[in-house]
Chain A
Amino acid sequence: MQKITTKENGVSWIQVTPLAIILLGFLIAPLLVILTVSFWEYDIGGMYPAFSHVNYTEILTSHTTINLYLRTFKFTFFVWLITLSIGFSVSYFLSFCVASTTWRIALFLLCTIPFWTSNVIRMIAWIPFLGRNGAINQGLASMGLIDQPLEFLLFSEFAVILTYVHLYTLFMIVPIFNAMSKIDPDVIEAARDAGANGWQIVRHIIVPLTLNGVALGSIFIITLVMGDFFIVRVMSGGLSGSVASAMYNEITGLQYPAAAANAVLLVITVVLLVSVILRFVDVRKVLTE
């Protein structure tokens, strides 16, 4: 990388200043305020500046918190596993089974279009599908496979995970597909000439060269699932909850400092998970090259 002059440094800084202002005002400042308020005290009358660890003590010693985290991890793990399997298979199919570039782009666009439409609508679209009198139950009943409607389909943890997978799989497909399309065909050709079979090519060439994409997709899935506050509420019928939805309840109950302490713990958890992934991948290299 060539050295750049002070003047060029200045020009670059002028160009990124609007971005920096937005990030400072709407990202950094809110996070710092959350951190501050998490040490404050509160009662029915409002919240008061203080430096108290009582919010944290309460959260860390409560069984509810542990259960919430366990449930959130459970959701995250299953959604990650399923989206990874789908994302890898779909990207593999598009990259290595479809020969025509036009078709590859068209099929890829077919996968991405729903991403640009409303998440709430795509969420509620499952309700007439899964409900007691929904399409699945009606279909199974008319085939004579069940005589009672399946109750676990809607307003259950099953429905929550299904909705997450439906909404978020694309975040796994795009980075993996991107990584696969950068694989040099000559490498695969060379492996084949050296006598590698299909499975060995996947195992020793495609998987290692796709890991960066998998890492990036995993970061998206983890933060999306752990940050969700309304899908878990609506699709479980209020029966289940996650860390973020519990936070949401505290906020509507005006327990801001408690919610803030929860938020800090959530950020720490997400940052820890993401930094484990970042140990294996250089995100800046992946994203800018």
Chain B
Amino acid sequence: MAKRIHSKNSLVTYLLGGFFSLYVLFLYGPMFIIFLLSFQGPTGGMTFPIQEYSLHWFKELFSDNIAADVSGSFQRSIILGLMVMTLTVTISVIAALGFRRNFKGSGIMFYGAIISLIMPGFLISFGMGLILQLLDIESTWYTTALGAQLTWTLPFGLLIMFAVLARFDRSVEEAARDLGATSWQTMRYVVVPLLLPGITGVALFGFTLSYDEIPRTTLVVGDSNTLPMEILAMTNTLTTPSLYAIGTLTTVVSVASITFALFAIKRMQDRLGSSQIASSES
């Protein structure tokens, strides 16, 4: 499908290509600078020049010199991310299957999810904080912050599943049923494997959105901070390249999970593609 309006050598392609490159530079440039500066030597400061390259500020992160609880908050964020991921996948996939029928009240539910997506996250945190205070309930990262984060990840998961299901051929499902599969078997052996690349996408969103979440978490996280909350607090107090070191570390975790998920999706699609070819040939 060639949809090109402008040929490869046209002026428009060159100009927009140049603009696109500038945008990518703008997107990655600052990150690259803090990546470099996080390897600053022990005597170096928060700006250039780099005195010498060392891992000094990374070690510093996990030493007693830093008032922040880096390793603890890092563990909590990973666990919370996995919890949010599991719940987001389960709840949004099942709900999206429900939305395939135009059931009574589906409009209200849909707009509820949209409101959840576009509501300034900070207000959710504030409202929940008020409820907890009035009922005298204590907030923790694995209860209240978990719930608050779900109001952000679930609508995302739902929208991705809508896009995936829009391309899903329902005749496959009917074929399975005609061949005598129970509805559980149809689900387990036909629907879920076909949806798996999309579901992995939902999992990626669930994990990374939770792992970086601040506005919804901020007032309901309780005494033990998650990593982004800890980093936000550090921006006020920490004036050494350790701030960049933590930035580099957390970005590495994010990028690793994206790469892992994208490879997983690619593999599943390849496998689905080859099994379809195999079945059409036989």
The binding surface of chain B is classed by DSSP as helix
Contacts of A86 in B (CB 8 A): 23
Residue B204, interface by CB 8 Å: yes
Contacts of B110 in A (CB 8 A): 284
Residue A111, interface by CB 8 Å: yes
One of B31, B48, B115, B257 near A125 (C-beta < 8 A):
B31
Contacts of A133 in B (CB 8 A): 47-48
Please tell me which stretch of A12-20, A51-59, A60-68, A207-215 contacts chain B, meaning at least 4 of its Cβ atoms lie within 8 angstroms of it. Answer: A12-20
Q: Given the interface contacts A18-B91, A287-B162, does A34 sit within 8 Å of B123 by beta carbon?
A: yes
The reply to whether A12 and B151 form a contact with Cβ atoms under 8 Å apart is no
Residue A138, interface by CB 8 Å: yes
Residue A253, interface by CB 8 Å: no
The reply to whether A97 and B13 form a contact with Cβ atoms under 8 Å apart is yes
The reply to whether B123 and A266 form a contact with Cβ atoms under 8 Å apart is yes
The reply to whether B130 and A89 form a contact with Cβ atoms under 8 Å apart is no
The reply to whether B151 and A26 form a contact with Cβ atoms under 8 Å apart is yes
Alpha-carbon gap, A219 to B124, bound state (A)? 18
How many residues belonging to B are interface residues under a CB distance threshold of 8 Å? 96
The reply to whether B251 and A27 form a contact with Cβ atoms under 8 Å apart is no
Alpha-carbon gap, A284 to B99, bound state (A)? 12
Q: Given the interface contacts A13-B105, A288-B162, does A34 sit within 8 Å of B130 by beta carbon?
A: yes
Residues of B within 8 A of A (CB): 1-6, 8, 12-13, 16-17, 19-20, 23-24, 26-31, 33-34, 37, 46-48, 90-92, 94-95, 97-99, 101-107, 109-116, 118-124, 126-131, 133-134, 147-148, 150-151, 154, 158-159, 162, 166, 204, 208, 211-212, 214-215, 219, 228, 231-232, 235, 243-244, 246-247, 250-251, 254-255, 257-258, 262
11 contacts between A and B (CB under 8 A): A12-B98, A12-B106, A19-B92, A23-B151, A33-B134, A118-B251, A127-B46, A128-B244, A226-B120, A228-B120, A267-B120
